[in-house]
Amino acid sequence: MSLEIKPITPILGAEVSGVDLSRPLSNAEFDAVHRAFVTHSLLVFRDQNLSPEAQIEFSRRFGPLMVHVLKGANLEDHPEIYRVSNVKKDGKTQGRSYAGQYWHSDLTYEPRPSLGSLLYGLEVPEFGGDTLFASTAHAFETLSPTMQAMLDGLTAEHHFAHAFRGGANPAARKGDPLDERPPVRHPVVRTHPETGRKCVFVNEGFTVRIIELEPKESEAVLGFLCQHMTRSQVVLRHRWRTGDAVLWDNRALVHRAVDDYGDDQPRHMHRTTIEDTD
């Protein structure tokens, strides 16, 4: 079966068929996948059967992998894999449960943020537990020229602890190594190195403030940008099936998980995170 790429929405996302990620891809196959990734920002691969080694090998074709600061959630013997899971074994949850219940781009609190992430569903709820995605490139392009000019050149502070102390639902998160990652600064608008599109690079999870603005101004602008990026008409909602592998571009998207399921619905996933070296 030949590789086929079918767009999901006019703004972002495509489903890729005819490719088996459990085996090494030829250079031609990978180049086709990479072009689709850059074009659509998000790729869905259905019916995959990925070992940790295969997931790591495929992810490394895009760049070096990052190890998550929450080391207890990383897979034993494969620290490049971060486990998102509410499944318990011997009374212990096998990873980070109910993670990412706020709009964010992965690891923007790192000095070198993430290029992309690959999330693989080993067990998924019968219903619920979807993931939402929105394009930060489309968000910038649909701002007025005046707003675009104002934002270009501004910088923002990102901090891992913000999602826990000051961000969405802070009371639900306790006992994390919040201070292991100090605050970092990134441009509010980043130019995507492969597409050349300008992207809004803030999120409600990890962005604390816009440095050049007064606190109330920063709060208002960040609130507006987060709302603008995630309007319902521009959001892609991915409903998970067991065996789905979803690859997304953190340079061009924000995402959030939907917490509408309980522990009676197992959700066990492996994530690899690719470093942005540009």
Which residues belong to the active site? 104, 106, 255, 271
CA gap 91, 81 in Å, rounded? 21
- Backbone conformation region of residue 161, classed left if phi is above 0, alpha if psi is from -120 to 50, else beta: alpha
CB 97 within 8 A of CB 197: no
CA gap 129, 142 in Å, rounded? 29
Cα distances (angstroms) measured from residue 263 to each of 5, 75, 107: 35, 21, 26
Which neighbouring-strand residues pair with 65? 274
CA gap 253, 187 in Å, rounded? 15
**Contacts for 217 with CB less than 8 Å, ≥ 6 apart:** 210
CB 21 within 8 A of CB 54: yes
Q: Which residues of 130-165 are buried (b: 16+ CB within 10 A; e: fewer)?
A: bbbbbbbbbbbeebeeeeeeebeebebbbbbbbbbe
> What are the tokens at 66?
């990052």
